Structure 1
């Protein structure tokens, strides 16, 4: 089920199999170690001492700890929903405050053992907490938008995303489609790295609200915001390349869906432009 084409079609089933089969495999390894140690234990060297002298125990113990650590940080946290439209909702949290321009992401769910979803953490202007933007892209996101939660599960700590590379460059072009603008907002809010913005989405103002529009335009007054309801799907490569040349940027980064990201990065690199995007391995 881990084969890319199969994994993309049955992602939820892959996630269940990966999780529960993985846990079962680790449990079987522990059982094998204990039974093997028991078979060679003796009155002079009981089971505990035998296990302590078995190097494999420490390797499996380390692997088990690495699996358990994120789940040891599992917690239910309060959330303040901010409906943006019928297609998007913004969820505000205060249990953590990611540093700006670090492209941190969090995983949330309402069913911890079934599915997890990753979103970019957008620091709050007040300096405490963060928010995420959820747009309609499947049954789970549709349910969250239609019935916004007041609390939700999260685990682990915010992890770095692709735009963590932003501080490595003097200037860049940020390209996004739909809710992909979310991961770009921390970079724009920090203003540590000058960036030109190309955002293609459906009716941006009514879908995502004035707040997000103001954040973008404050960082890039000449941002190219393409309304697909009016202009259809744009040629992202052509528009991004024009911005790259005109602005003198050092690289281009895109946050979009898998096929669009792969095609965009390939075509930009074919033109000799350093391009970055998510690798879509989870």
Structure 2
């Protein structure tokens, strides 16, 4: 009888995979001395998929122990599932792909594994670029506010509403997908050249990824300026108008409600509640802002009355143009909303593929919705740039699960596709993209279309064909094998993705690593790469 092949994975328990005829089985271990690339702990000579241009990842016996840690429980189908789903799956027994041979871990398990929420709230660091931008915006506004209150900034004291509305305009710009699409395009066009210093490219990438810090900082600052404006109005008996105070107070209440709903704890645990409050409270506040402008410009403090006609000086005020710009930015994405036919297929109960007409450039993301006023979901777009594009949706929530169980014939979409972190791959000469599970979708377009960057891929997932289908598998398999590492956890167990990413970046000498995983996984990869002196970026909770 042939000796079973022995592997290890990330949880400290060895296990064995018996040889069989399955395409994902490994016939025999590869000796480090028998392959010229063994020093990198990455081999590609044994077929992983049944075609000449195939690939695999196989940790060699000389690999670091942290990479060869094994698992004591079956790994999940997707590495980016929620914490609750991960725990439920971990409690299942009898994974036929990874029979556990030694139930006793060689490393003691953590007593209190960190939840996704703790990673979001506590493990992002105290001085991230996001938080620096937040503090910078807040510090500048508080400084100006203190100077105005103490009489050293008379313009601000006379026009506090200008600063409040100006901050609302700034936060709207930072969330305008159409405006940011232009900004990202300019960044790639101007900086995506070999002579631009790498340090400058990574600084711009970090800045663009963290613009949410400006958004939140300006949001809090607008509240502070509006409070100051109300205090000045209430303490001035000759310029006090009950309707103006009532409208300003309502705007203040709505801004505070929106800010509280955006707090990480609320946003993470009740995302749909956050989204609806942010949308409808924002729209109501904008309508009241127009009322506030008209009331303040028609109010005559001498007669304590209002002129019936809006004065011509309305168009000469900063408040008007600021408010008009805010209105334009908010209305713009909704003008492009339309209901389109879709084709949805489910390669497994764990994911669905949604197809649309029209080609899309690599690195862009799109939003879809079953009901446009209630919820929107963003997904990476997969396209060859020609006739159609598609989205890969892991079934981890109510909406995404319904795509598998009850696929609709039409969905609502926004016509403007927005640029995110993956789009900035085009800024670099050589980039490593790392994905776990369905996170691969944001990078597949780079494999199907010619891009500025020389792109390399590491993908860790379970049951590639079983869970993602032949079409997704074929897209990855069609890319040059020397640029791809696929680690199927159904065969090899769960690896140390962070160390695997560092080794791959070193092997291919890439300038940057961009990862799409769950919060903890992204954090680990980014930290490991930075410790090795490699620029790395992953999605943040408010990116």
User: Could you tell me how far apart the structure 2 residues matched to 1:129 and 1:188 are?
Assistant: 15
1:48 to partner: Cα distance: 5.0
Q: Distance in 2 between matches of 1:176 and 1:10?
A: 26
What displacement does 1:143 show? 0.9
Out of 56, 59, 64, the position equivalent to 2:327 is: 64
Aligned ranges for residues 1-40 of structure 1 at < 5 Å? 1-40=261-300
Using the alignment, how far apart are the partners of 1:230 and 1:3 within structure 2? 41
Partner of 1:216: 476
> Displacement of 1:158 after TM fit?
0.8
Secondary structure at 1:280's aligned position in 2?
coil
Aligned position for 1:79? 342
Aligned to 1:188: 447
Counterpart-to-counterpart distance in 2, 1:26 and 1:62: 11
Instruction: Return the index of the structure with the highest Cα Rg.
Output: 2
Shift, 1:5, TM fit: 3.1
Q: Which runs of 5+ in 2 are unaligned?
A: 1-260, 301-305
Aligned to 1:128: 387
Report what 2:373 is aligned to: 113
TM-score, reference length from structure 2: 0.48
Q: Distance in 2 between matches of 1:164 and 1:50?
A: 43
1:103 pairs with 2:363: yes
- The residue aligned with 2:536 is 275
In structure 2, C-alpha distance between the alignment counterparts of 1:6 and 1:216, rounded to whole Å: 38
Alignment: residue pair count: 276
Equivalences for residues 121-160 of structure 1 within 5 A: 121-124=381-384, 127-160=386-419
Question: 1:229: which partner in 2?
Answer: 490
The superposition leaves residues 42-84 of structure 1 with CA deviations (integer Å, 9 ceiling, x where unpaired) of 58xx325353344312211110111011111111011111222
Task: Give the TM-score normalised by the residue count of structure 1.
Answer: 0.90
Return closer, same or farther for 1:56/1:194 CA change in 2, 3 Å cut-off: closer
Instruction: Measure, in 2, the Cα distance between the counterparts of 1:105 and 1:214.
Output: 21
- Structure (1/2) with the larger strand percentage: 1
Q: State the 1:117 CA deviation.
A: 0.5
The secondary structure found in structure 1 opposite 2:478 is helix
Matched, 1:249 2:510: yes
Task: Provide closer, same or farther for how the CA distance between residues 150 and 190 of structure 1 changes in structure 2, counting only shifts above 3 A.
Answer: same
Residues in 2 aligned to 1:42 and 1:142: alpha-carbon distance in whole angstroms: 56
Which residue of structure 1 aligns with residue 26 of structure 2?
A: none
Matches of 1:195 and 1:54, distance apart in 2: 50
Moved more, 64-73 or 238-247: 238-247
The Cα of 1:93 is off from its aligned counterpart by 0.6
Q: Are the equivalent residues in 2 in contact too, given 1:191–1:219 (CA < 8 A)?
A: no
CA RMSD, 1 decimal: 2.0
Structure 1 unaligned regions, length at least 5: none
SS of equivalent to 1:216: helix
Quote the residue 1:171 is aligned against.
Answer: 430
CA shift, 1:4, in A, is: 2.1
SS in structure 2 of the partner of residue 149 of structure 1: coil
